[in-house]
Amino acid sequence: MFGSGVETFAYSYYFTRPQEHNLTSEWDFIYNKAHNEYLNYLATTGFVGLLSYLFLIGGVFFILIKEIIYEKDKQNKLIYITLLASYVTILTTNFFGFSTTTINLFFYLIPAFIGINIIKEQKEFIFKNKPFIFQVFGVSLGLVLLYFLTSYFIADLNYAKSEKASQIGDYQSAATYLDQANRLHNSHIYLNSYSLNVANLAVLLSYQKDSKQSIDLMKLALQKSSEAISASPKNVNYLKNKSKIEYLFYQVNPQDRKYVDSAISTLKKAQELSPTDAKIPYSLSIFYTILFDFTKDIKYKDLSFKEVDKSITLKSNFKDAFTLKTQLIEKYKN
């Protein structure tokens, strides 16, 4: 009825993602929209949302056709014909693809143009009767929106800076930028990236023998990762990120298997949400072979083969999985 939520296609898609998708060139890309805007409305806003959009589209058509038929002024009639033609092109491209930012702007601006043109004679009457209420409401709403958008924009600038810092291994700066971003606009997206940067920072400090600060940062990284998952529990990428963090902490503490067990548990949750993702069983296979090293229990050897075979079944041209299976065969043979 209500879909998975506005703009949630990027992670709500995984549970229904077909296995055949793994054989495309963009198999591990993040798909933020369905490749049909109306299917995207249906998936993210449900029947209620889809019908509201169709009602808007139908209303625009009804008003434009009515104005074209009854409008006496030739210039106005030409404007309405042009707007109708423009709207039809937008609806057509949205059917065979998905909307971009510019197309979405015109999707809403065209009805606004129509509304302005129709009520221009009534505008003076409306504002003449209630000028103070309209001015106060308009200014207040404008200031609130401006503050919100400015904060969000500056937060995203900080996020972009953190991405660049992270790419060159400056995890301290990246974490600082993300902390500033989250203060401006609280978002699980920033928390997720923040947790991974803090985790990398903890690993670096552990190599510098600063064990106390490293342990504190490890706890902070897991806490922020859990907060991100709690805010968006169906986001597969957040669960994958948490398993990466747990793998990093295992490398810092190679004698402690708790991080390996935790990573396996995290990946199993991700597998429930994304059963056709070939990378998840691939990662599970690696963790099971680490457990075999800990325990020498043959069941972990069997599980490592089982998961890597599952990965190959899901993606028959997955080179990394074939390489891993070869390595496992060599390892267990010896």
Q: Give residue-wise pLDDT tens across range 195-254.
A: 999 999 999 988 887 778 888 999 999 999 999 999 999 899 999 999 999 999 998 888
Q: Kindly state whether residue 36 falls inside one of the protein's structural domains.
A: yes
Q: Kindly state whether residue 196 falls inside one of the protein's structural domains.
A: yes
Helix residue spans in the chain (DSSP H)? 9-12, 37-70, 74-96, 101-129, 131-167, 171-184, 188-207, 211-231, 236-252, 258-273, 279-295, 298-314, 319-333
Given 85, 114, 129, the domain boundary residue is 129
Q: Kindly state whether residue 263 falls inside one of the protein's structural domains.
A: no
Residues 185, 237 share a domain: yes
Question: For 133-148, how does the pLDDT look when each residue is reduced to its tens digit (9 = 90+)?
Answer: 777 888 899 999 999 9
Distances (CA, A) of 83 to 37, 58, 59: 20, 14, 14
Residues 102, 13 share a domain: yes
Q: Kindly state whether residue 199 falls inside one of the protein's structural domains.
A: yes
Residues 138, 120 share a domain: no
Please give the pLDDT value at position 83.
92
Number of domains in the chain: 3
Given 129, 159, 190, the domain boundary residue is 129
Please give the pLDDT value at position 123.
57
Question: For 31-41, how does the pLDDT look when each residue is reduced to its tens digit (9 = 90+)?
Answer: 888 889 999 99
Q: Kindly state whether residue 235 falls inside one of the protein's structural domains.
A: yes
b/e map of 221-233 (b: 16 or more CB within 10 Å)?
A: bbebbebbbeebe
Task: Determine the average pLDDT of the residues in 110-130.
Answer: 70
Q: Kindly state whether residue 4 falls inside one of the protein's structural domains.
A: no
Q: What percent of the chain has pLDDT over 70?
A: 96
Question: For 167-202, how does the pLDDT look when each residue is reduced to its tens digit (9 = 90+)?
Answer: 999 999 999 999 999 999 999 999 999 999 999 999
- Identify the domain containing residue 289 by its residue range: 276-334
Q: Kindly state whether residue 210 falls inside one of the protein's structural domains.
A: yes
Cα angle value 3/280/295 (rounded, 5°): 140
Please give the pLDDT value at position 126.
53
Prediction pTM value: 0.82
Question: For 278-330, how does the pLDDT look when each residue is reduced to its tens digit (9 = 90+)?
Answer: 999 999 999 999 999 988 899 999 999 999 999 999 999 999 999 999 999 99
Question: For 50-86, how does the pLDDT look when each residue is reduced to its tens digit (9 = 90+)?
Answer: 999 999 999 999 999 988 888 788 888 898 899 999 9
Q: Kindly state whether residue 260 falls inside one of the protein's structural domains.
A: no
Residues 298, 200 share a domain: no
Given 129, 158, 185, the domain boundary residue is 129
Residues 143, 121 share a domain: no
Residues 88, 22 share a domain: yes
pLDDT bucket at 130, cuts 50 / 70 / 90: low
